[in-house]
Structure 1
Amino acid sequence: KKLDCKQLVAYYQKMIASPFDIYIVGDIQYEPMIRLIKQFFVKKTVNKKNYIPALPLSTSIVSPKIVHKNILQTRLAILYTTQKVFSDKESYALRILNDILGGGMQSKLFLEVREKKGLCYSISSTYNSSYGYLLIHTGIQAKNVKQVLQEVQKQLDAIKEGKFTQKEVQRSVDSFCRGIQSYKDDCFAYIDLHVRYASFHQPFDLEDILVQYQQVTKKQIMEVAQNIQYKTHAVLTKKGE
């Protein structure tokens, strides 16, 4: 609401003067395209930006936080550190681990905490490879906060102990591989993935990425799980609870 036309124009001028990358994907004639790029763009700016490498989040524990707002459903977020970021080969195993833990309706968190225990309305997990953290987010009743914290830790401990099947591993691997294959048919998604790899100075090859996922083993998942540590949690709940 505070934005006005003058601010938007100023931002636009700043944006077009910033360094940029050009991606061209498809059946093109390479040499004519290079000539056009040099003619219209190369004199304007050259992207010399130094990308900051991904750094894992500190493992130091932070005091839990409770925020009160006028809401109907309590939200609980639990943060864990993994010590593995995008540039680490182990990040592939962590993505599979995250999918098994809380990646969907077949995940351990969904089946055990929501379906079997009935402790939450929704629950899922996300692995952020930029900062190497695992985030569990769930919608619950305020009275269930402590029990949900315990059950989430219980499911994570189960993975650390190898209490998951090869079938679960393969299902997650197949899901990721289908997702990677779909990039071949979506130019914008392909470019977006390439930019992500380039940002972390990683070689980009879809076939190699597929191989990395296909080579993830149950043992590797258990190994990366050992480094996952609780950092903090936050509760968003209505006033008076």
Structure 2
Amino acid sequence: MFKTIPFAKGVNLHIRQTTQFKTVNFSIKWRRPLTAESASERTVLTNVLQHSNAKYTTTAAFRSSLDDLYGTVLYFDTSKRGNEHTVLMNVEAVNDQYLANTSVLNEVLGLLHTAIFEPNLENALFKESIVAREKKMVIQRIESIFDDKSRFAQLRLQQILRPNEPASISANGTVEDIERITPASLFAAYQSMLANDKIDIYVAGDINEDEMVAKLKHALPFQDRTPVEIPAILPQKHPQNDYVREQHDMKQGKLHIGFSTPVKFGDADFAKMQIFNGVFGGYPHAKLFMNVREKESLAYYASSSYASHYGLLFVVSGIEAKNEEKAFSLIKEQLAVMQAGDISDLELEQTKAMLTNQLKESLDSARGQIEIYDQYKDLPEEFSFETWANKWKAVTKQDVVEMAKQVQLEAVYFLCGKEQAAQ
């Protein structure tokens, strides 16, 4: 799908020449082991780099320069995957082939260089006023989760399930770690990211491959590095059947349940576990939606998700506080009936179709192709749509039953209103 070219030691370029799109898409990913402290620094850093640089010292000037380049999109962000924290820079620009007498792409590459290598400094450090402003913005973003009760309940469940482990560390970091950041510490984090992180560079579009490689070598002068190895997630023993109840000033109750499974991303049974999750609660035709929400009307919503890098399965539901016990019992029942083999051919086929169509839709965009390939590239076999469609197609009802039998309840978190709790 993408051709991989060594760019420097510890830096790889993945390039895809395709006539599928009228734009050229770039994505640069800086990777290092995930810790709360580094996630905090790197999230503030992305905000600082996003809004200004040495050439365009204000947000307005930077955005105006992008608008002048036919609405080029450029943004920084952070994410996490397993034990890995990623700073990413995504750029989308119109292809010069569709413009008359102009070379937007060269200007975009120049801007890309500026945004990364020419930050907005004062006395060789990030400007104190900008750092203070962006720290405040990131803290507000982190604290806003308290107002989104579904996200808050999910965070609390993850903290109960895997305290102080990657599964419960936010890609944005923590308020406490952000408050400790100074212009000097942030600049040190920036220098370390450029010099030491493992880097993947992606390009997708109708481009001349050799020309693009040469231009990127000039625009992105990354030096050789020996990145810190990102450790694998080791299996740990955790107490099972923890049941935590908390109260907030709110109306709808949030019942979030955490299960564990030995099957993780890249394992031989990974595709089977994806099918299990789809039948259990991943889609509108799934058992949780059809039985807990539709048939019994016990939930405003009920679904499951599979965090494959951590071997965790989450069930989330919004319920009336009075239905807590009944809803919890019915959710467990859906797992039990799957373990007993109650899976219809229709449920199985609909799930396979949904997974296949989702993958197909993702591959319809350049950004989707980059993200899918980035996720699957480290698996032993080369990624292709056909390979994964066939993997899902081959999963049998008995395979799903075996997956269901490996799912273990670990913890429950119930968040409800104070008045409801009193009742």
What's the TM-score, normalizing by structure 1?
A: 0.88
How far has the Cα of 1:161 moved from its partner? 1.2
Q: Which residue of the partner structure matches residue 85 of structure 1?
A: 264
Verify the 8 A CA contact 1:66 1:234 in the aligned structure 2: yes
Verify the 8 A CA contact 2:277 2:304 in the aligned structure 1: yes
Q: Does structure 1 residue 161 correspond to structure 2 residue 340?
A: yes
Q: Does structure 1 residue 152 correspond to structure 2 residue 331?
A: yes
Matching residue within 368, 372, 377 for 1:189: 368
How far has the Cα of 1:113 moved from its partner? 1.3
Residue by residue over 1:103-147, the C-alpha shift from the partner in whole angstroms, topping out at 9 and shown as x without a partner, is 232211111112221212211111110111111111111121111
Verify the 8 A CA contact 2:301 2:318 in the aligned structure 1: yes
How far has the Cα of 1:17 moved from its partner? 5.2
Amino acid aligned to 1:181:
K
**Cα RMSD for the two superposed structures:** 2.4
Stretch deviating more after TM superposition (72-81 or 104-113)? 104-113
Q: Which residue of the partner structure matches residue 112 of structure 1?
A: 291
How far has the Cα of 1:56 moved from its partner? 5.3
Q: Which residue of the partner structure matches residue 391 of structure 2?
A: 212
Change (3 A) 1:117 1:184: closer
Matching residue within 317, 322, 325 for 1:138: 317
Q: Distance in 1 between matches of 2:346 and 2:337?
A: 16
Q: Distance in 1 between matches of 2:368 and 2:318?
A: 30
Change (3 A) 1:58 1:210: farther
Q: Does structure 1 residue 5 correspond to structure 2 residue 130?
A: yes
Q: Distance in 2 between matches of 1:45 and 1:114?
A: 54
Verify the 8 A CA contact 1:57 1:133 in the aligned structure 2: no
How far has the Cα of 1:39 moved from its partner? 3.2
Change (3 A) 1:187 1:126: same
Q: Distance in 2 between matches of 1:17 and 1:68?
A: 46
Give the match's secondary structure for 1:216.
coil
Residue by residue over 1:67-124, the C-alpha shift from the partner in whole angstroms, topping out at 9 and shown as x without a partner, is 1100111100011111111021212111111111112322111111122212122111
Amino acid aligned to 2:131:
K
Change (3 A) 1:61 1:23: same
Verify the 8 A CA contact 1:69 1:239 in the aligned structure 2: yes
Q: Distance in 2 between matches of 1:180 and 1:49?
A: 32
How far has the Cα of 1:197 moved from its partner? 2.2
Of structures 1 and 2, the one with the larger relative CO (CA 8 A, separation 6+) is 1
Bigger radius of gyration? 2
Give the alignment of 1:19-168 within 5 angstroms. 19=197, 20-44=199-223, 46=225, 48-55=227-234, 58=237, 60-168=239-347
Where structure 1 has 5 or more consecutive residues not aligned to the other structure, the ranges are none
Where structure 2 has 5 or more consecutive residues not aligned to the other structure, the ranges are 1-43, 45-128, 135-182
Stretch deviating more after TM superposition (61-70 or 223-232)? 61-70
Give the match's secondary structure for 1:23.
strand
Verify the 8 A CA contact 1:56 1:133 in the aligned structure 2: no
Give the match's secondary structure for 1:120.
coil
Residue by residue over 1:150-187, the C-alpha shift from the partner in whole angstroms, topping out at 9 and shown as x without a partner, is 11111111111110112211111111111212233211
Stretch deviating more after TM superposition (25-34 or 81-90)? 25-34
Give the match's secondary structure for 1:185.
coil
